[in-house]
Amino acid sequence: MNNKLLASQVTDKACQNSVVTKKWALSALTCSLLLAMGSANAADTNVNTVADAITQGTAKVDLNLRYESVDQDNALKDADALTLRTRLTFATAEYYGLSALVEFEDSRSVAGVNDYNDAIGNNTDYSVIADPETTELDQAFLQYKRNGFTAKAGRQVIAIDNQRFIGHVGWRQDRQTFDAVTMQYAINDFSVDYGYIYKRNRIFAEVKDIDSKDHVINASYNFGLGKLSAYSYLLEEDTNIDNGIDTYGIRFAGAKDIDKIKLLYTLEYATQDTDTETTSYSTDYMLGEVGVGFSGLTVKLGYELLGSDDGEYGFSTPLATLHAFNGWADQFLATPNQGLVDTYVSIGGSVVGGKWALVYHDFEADESSATVNDLGDEIDAVFSLPIDKHYTVGVKYASYSAGDAGAGKVDADKVWLWANAKF
């Protein structure tokens, strides 16, 4: 039986059995992918059979052993966690543009070092270290690629631009993935992405996963000075109450070599409207960052505003890789109602084959009140060292100093030590 006839029969059966549910997009895309497989030319594939696609696939192992400690100036006990994250990945070779990937992830405490609040209800008298024990399906998707078009259906990582709005939270042991249908068309320097997310698989095992009806749109163009992006992120939890967060923005980021100096620059602006059962809010986001690279060093100065609507609502980025922004002590994972102004300076470089960085943050409220203006400051430091192509070790430190008492923050110090192996 030839490939076209086989694909046609499989497609007919799959499409006939599809049930119209909230995952209609996944069923529709699966049908279209099977149709595309049947109509593709043999010259477009590197393997001759589905069995070849499987046997010529690639397997990967990623092990991350990490110690984390948290010391906060409050009534909670200091936390300590030694955890091992194991990630197993298998990706098939392409068959007529079609491929698949399956990935499992497991996170375990090691050697009984588990005195921490895991953020899902265990050891709540300790400070939070958001690395609960879990074993779960991290990714499982079907992908089709042809002539600049790429489509994925299933559980997948989605990371857009600098992950300020959509990211994988890869710092945590249980990273964030999404049950989604995503499509991209890229030609020359232009690309446009669309994604429909129907479940947010968050970093808290499966306990706090959220059903959703999110639409993600991002278009970008690369030209000589940098990359210009425009986006719409229309987020909504799949509940019976109004909870939409609609964000529209534009971003420009680039770099230019001037003699022996690299000039770095980023500008971004977004506006956000959110609806609740009783009221609506509107606020803005702004980012400006400049930097220079010279003699093996990179220095940056940045200003980030997550605006406030009259002190009642702060600009929200619930799907972001939040740890990468506003300090590694994670004091501002949720933007305060007063908003947040983060003025920061960083310096980094290389030494003895590894990479290091120092960052200082100064935090203020966007909408000050009689009791809240100064939101504190923070010093961060990191050093990572690759041993060879398989192994990396590192150390990281964050020290947050609280500002006004009315902000509800306390002094906090965090330390991380880790060893990573990839095969």
State the chain's maximal CA–CA distance in angstroms: 78
pLDDT at residue 113 is higher than 50 = yes
- Place 1 in a pLDDT band, splitting at 50, 70 and 90: very low
Q: Point out which residues pair with 65 in neighbouring strands.
A: 84, 419
Left if phi > 0, otherwise alpha if psi is -120 to 50, otherwise beta: which for 198?
Answer: alpha
> What is the identity of the amino acid at 361?
H
Judged against a pLDDT cut of 60, whether residue 22 lies above it is answered with: no
Mean pLDDT of 268-273: 98
Pairing relation of β-strands 354-364 and 340-351?
A: antiparallel
Query: Does the pLDDT at position 3 exceed 70?
Result: no
Report the 10 Å Cβ neighbour count for 405: 11
For the residues 275-295, what does the mean pLDDT come to? 94
Looking at domain 60-422, which of 2.40.160.10, 2.30.42.10, 2.60.40.10, 1.10.10.60 is its CATH number? 2.40.160.10
Q: Is the pLDDT of residue 198 over 50?
A: yes
Work out the angle at residue 202's Cα, subtended by the Cα atoms of residues 384 and 359, and round it to the nearest 5 degrees. 35
137 vs 12, which has greater pLDDT?
A: 137
pLDDT at res. 24: 44
What number is the average pLDDT over the span 309-322? 97
Sign of CA dihedral 46, 61, 348, 203: positive
Mean pLDDT over each residue of the chain, to the nearest integer: 91
User: pLDDT at position 48, please?
Assistant: 87
pLDDT of residue 276: 83
pLDDT at 240: 87
- Ranking 42-51, 388-397, 414-423 by mean pLDDT, the lowest is 42-51
Average pLDDT over residues 316-336: 98
Confidence check: pLDDT of 32 > 90: no
- CA dist list (Å): 411 to 104, 182, 378: 37, 41, 10
What is the DSSP secondary-structure string of 211-252?
EEEEEEEEEEEEETTEEEEEEEEEE-BSSSS---EEEEEEEE
pLDDT, position 47: 84
Work out the number of other CB atoms within 10 angstroms of the CB of residue 188.
8
What is the three-class DSSP state of 44? helix
Number of Cβ within a 10 Å radius of residue 239: 12
Query: Is the predicted pLDDT of residue 30 greater than 80, yes or no?
Result: no
The first and second tokens of residue 289, run together, are: 């960052």
Per-residue pLDDT, 45? 53
Confidence of residue 46 (pLDDT cuts 50, 70, 90): low
pLDDT the model gives residue 42: 39
More confident position, 398 or 241: 398
Q: How confident is residue 228, by pLDDT bands cut at 50, 70 and 90?
A: very high
Residue pLDDT, tens place only, 57-103: 999 999 999 999 999 999 999 999 999 999 999 999 999 999 999 99
Q: In sequence order, what are the residues at sequence separation of 6 or more whose Cβ sits closer than 8 angstroms to the Cβ of residue 177?
A: 138, 139, 155, 156, 157, 158, 168, 201
CA-nearest of 126, 117, 98, 102 to 33 is 98
**What pLDDT score was predicted for residue 27?**
47
β-pairing verdict for 58-72 and 412-422: antiparallel
Q: What mean pLDDT is predicted for residues 361-371?
A: 96
Q: Residue 107 above 60 pLDDT?
A: yes
Residues 141-162 have pLDDT tens digits of 999 999 999 999 999 999 999 9
pLDDT of the residue at 167: 98
